[in-house]
Structure 1
Amino acid sequence: MKKLPFLFTLAILAHGTFAQKQTSGWTNLFDGKSLNGWKKLSGNAEYKIENGAITGVTSLNTPNTFLVTEKEYGDFILELEVLMEDTTSNSGIQFRSHLNPAGNNGTGRVYGYQYEIDPSSRRWSGGIYDEARRDWLYPLGLNPAAQPAFKNGQFNKVRIECIGHNLRTWVNNIEAAYVVDTLDAAGFIGLQVHGIKNPEQAGKKIYWKNIRIKTSNLVPAPHLKTTYVVNTIPNTLSDAEKQSGTVLLFDGVSSKGWKGAYKPGFPEKGWEIKDGLLSVLASSGAESTNGGDIVTVKEYSAFDLTFDFKLTTGANSGVKYFVTLKENNPGSAIGLEYQVLDDKVHPDAKMGRDGNRTLASLYDLIKANKQDRFTRPPGQWNTGRVVVYPNNHVEHYINGLKVLEYERGSQAFRDLVAISKYKKWPNFGEAKAGRILLQDHGNAVSFRSIKIKELK
């Protein structure tokens, strides 16, 4: 048997060899000496046993390779330890996952939820990815406090809880990700060796050991109220969201909590509430010439705002915050704006300065530094997020990726305002509190799952 490198041998010894004993309620998925109960799928990377650990070895020019359980699991708590040699690649642990036999040109492709193992400088270990399907569900940038938890060069403790619709992860006992999702109720568990094309990454090893599962008498671990929750069920609040103080700004069936920007009540035309969607209807493509903007009845100062939006081709809209309505200007009401735009078709994407009118940007002020893989085209749902902290630090996100940040009221902020369309309004964007606004720009755009948590 080939010997492990000295560093990794020490890591295995320091954490103890595989424990054969069963503890109350737990079942071992790995006996420490064989791959009984497991099978290899999709790729041609090697899996073997070394020093009481399942060892995956990277191989050039083969698809992602998975060692998966022969049995499927629904609700469970899974614990194991993992160590990865290469810090330039990544790996993962599949759960509630499946095989598409037709994938990879008939060799099969694994898809489903994945616990990310990311030893790179990005530090997304513990995030939740949807392998070969929806991409990222919970990039760990949504929980910066957990990013330092994974330690390179040593075994790390993994915990995954799947109880009902709640999917939760931990890294070395630090809560990492929390997703509420309904797509898969059961599936196999798998260990991934990622496909590689760089010869320098070939032959690198990933080690898994002390793999155990519990499937009955499941008690969720305590949840930190500060851990952000991604809930993909439209217009609902999970128990965790309710406990953190998050509330729905749109209940899915009525205009409660909203009114026209310069109207006493909700617009009589131009907006539609149907099938759980709050939609602005298409008109001439001009600002506020049909139903007009709508705003929250309540004002907010520091908050965490999340909203789903779906564009039609070429559409333009926006979500504004710190809207005071004091300007009483014609057209759209004034406020800091999270741009909602079809960048590929609408001409506004090429206007402004250095791309500061593109999707998820702070309109006319700061460009969103986003990746194409984190945006979805018209006809599909995107999730926007704006966080305003009590110290006036502001962040914009799209589909879980932070794309810009700034300090509201800082000199740098005021310098940007001075060269923008907002320069004529004194103290623009610096109100102590304001309303949230959905913009009528004359194009059809739908919203749902609009939620807010006030920050203290």
Structure 2
Amino acid sequence: MKYLKHTTLALAAFAMLFTADADARPKKGKWEKLFDGKSLAGWHTYKKAGQPVSDKWTIDDGAIHFTGGRGAGDLVTDKEYGDFELEIEWKISEKGNSGIIYHVNEDPKYGATYSTGPEMQVLDDAKHPDSFAGSAGNHKAGSLYDMLPPNDLTAVKPAGEWNKAKLVIKDGRAEHYLNGKKIVEYATNGPEWDKMVANSKFKSWEGFGKFAKGHLALQDHGDKVWYRNIRIREL
């Protein structure tokens, strides 16, 4: 009986230690839908919170659809995010261009979402001129725009087809995924990041990449684009 008692106490102590250790580990947040498939609730036009969103941003068969033409402005989340995992599907029109931008700051001194936020490129690689600009593919779909190219140019699906993208920002690192493949990885601050910025078009932009938390944005680049199945969890 004494042996059983000691064994029980030992097991209980082990369980308590395991529980305490589990409680100490960082917990991932719950998945949160950023789009309900029916409305633009939770979104606003960049620097126009509380105002009606342009009718060029519509809902089309369960997707956010930008119908094309300039002047609507980028769509941004009401909420700001720091470390997160984002899943999103996108479909671009022929010769189309758009982008998914993160850590966007809405201070009036910044003119656009991309003034502060790095961009995961959304593009028709086959026919948009920007696909052949930049350096070594750093304007291709899935790239860290103007900074790092995707490591697999075959990961993207052509215009008119849905692509599944994932963006992970955690502990000063970022990962871009496209259709199940990790295609870009980089530091979001420090010497590695500073070197990439210095070699890009953003080198003299005061606020670019300086914020560890901000809004997510879907870019109005004038071309038709669709986004759906958008969800996020904070890390």
TM bracket, shorter-chain basis: 0.7 to 0.9
Correspondence 1:267-416 to 2 at 5 A: 267-283=53-69, 289-326=70-107, 327-329=109-111, 334-372=116-154, 374-389=155-170, 391-416=171-196
Alpha carbons of structure 1 residues 426 and 333: separation in structure 2 relative to 1, 3 Å = closer
Deviation of residue 375 (structure 1)? 2.1
Q: Per residue, is there more helix in 1 or in 2?
A: 2
Whole-Å separation in 1 of the counterparts to 2:29 and 2:83: 15
The equivalences for 1:240-259 within 5 A come to: 245-259=30-44
Aligned-residue offset at 1:402: 0.1
Q: CA deviation at 1:333?
A: 5.2
- 1:444 counterpart (224, 228, 231): 224
Shift of 1:352: 1.3
Kindly report which structure 2 residues correspond to 1:172-191, keeping only aligned pairs within 5 A, or say none. none
Aligned-pair CA distance for 1:435: 0.3
**Aligned residues, how many?**
206
Gaps of 5+ in 2: 1-27
Q: CA deviation at 1:441?
A: 0.4
Q: Given residue 347 of structure 1, which amino acid in structure 2 is its aligned partner? A: P
Q: Do 2:34 and 2:230's aligned partners in 1 also have CA atoms closer than 8 Å?
A: yes
Structure with more strand by fraction: 1
Offset at 1:361? 0.2
Counterpart Cα distance in 2 of 1:420 and 1:313:
27
Please state how far the C-alpha of 1:273 moved relative to its aligned partner.
1.1
Asked if the contact 2:102–2:216 (Cα under 8 Å) also holds between the matched residues in 1, the reply is: yes
Report the counterpart of residue 171 of structure 1 in structure 2: none
* 3-state SS of 1:349 partner: helix
* 1:428 CA displacement: 2.2
Equivalences for residues 227-266 of structure 1 within 5 A: 245-264=30-49, 265-266=51-52
Matched-pair contact (CA < 8 Å) for 1:259–1:296: yes
Q: CA deviation at 1:282?
A: 1.5
- Which residue identity is paired with 2:105? T
Relative to structure 1, the CA distance from residue 340 to residue 266 in structure 2 (aligned partners, 3 Å threshold; closer, same or farther) is farther
Please state whether the residue corresponding to 1:313 is helix, strand or coil. Answer: coil
What do residues 66-109 of structure 1 show as CA deviations (whole Å, max 9, x unaligned)? xxxxxxxxxxxxxxxxxxxxxxxxxxxxxxxxxxxxxxxxxxxx
- Unaligned 5+ segments in structure 1 are 1-242, 284-288
**1:378: Cα distance to partner?**
1.1
What is the Cα deviation at residue 291 of structure 1? 1.1
Q: Is residue 421 from structure 1 mapped to residue 201 from structure 2 by the alignment?
A: yes
Query: Aligned runs of 1:1-150 on 2, under 5 Å?
Result: none
Find the aligned partners of 2:186 and 2:224 in 1 and give their Cα distance: 30
Decide whether the 8 Å contact of 2:101 with 2:113 is kept in 1: no
Q: Name the SS for the 1:412 alignment partner.
A: helix
* Identical residues among aligned pairs (%): 38
C-alpha distance in structure 2 between counterparts of 1:278 and 1:427, whole Å: 28
Per the TM alignment, residue 425 of structure 1 is displaced from its structure 2 partner at its CA by 2.2
Considering Cα pairs closer than 8 Å and 6+ residues apart, tell me whether 1 or 2 has the greater RCO: 2
* Counterpart residue identity of residue 256, structure 1: A
Native 8 Å contact 2:104 2:117 kept in 1: yes
In structure 2, how many angstroms separate the alpha carbons of the residues matched to 1:334 and 1:312? 26
* Letter matched to residue 365 of structure 1: M
Partner of 1:96: none
Larger Rg: 1
Q: Secondary structure at the match of 1:252?
A: coil
**Aligned CA distance change for structure 1 residues 251 and 333 (closer, same or farther; 3 Å):** farther
Q: CA 1:332–1:432 in structure 2 vs 1: closer, same or farther (change >3 Å)? A: closer
Larger deviation: 423-432 or 406-415?
423-432
The structural deviation recorded for 1:325 is 2.2
Of stretches 432-441 and 261-270 in structure 1, the one that deviates more from structure 2 is: 261-270
Q: Is the 8 A contact 1:261 1:333 kept in 2?
A: no
* Aligned partners of 2:29 and 2:234 also within 8 Å: no
TM-score normalised to structure 1 length: 0.44
Q: Give the AA of the match of 1:271.
A: W
Alpha-carbon distance in structure 2 between the residues aligned to 1:414 and 1:427? 13
Aligned AA (1:428): F
CA distance in 2, matches of 1:244, 1:324: 23
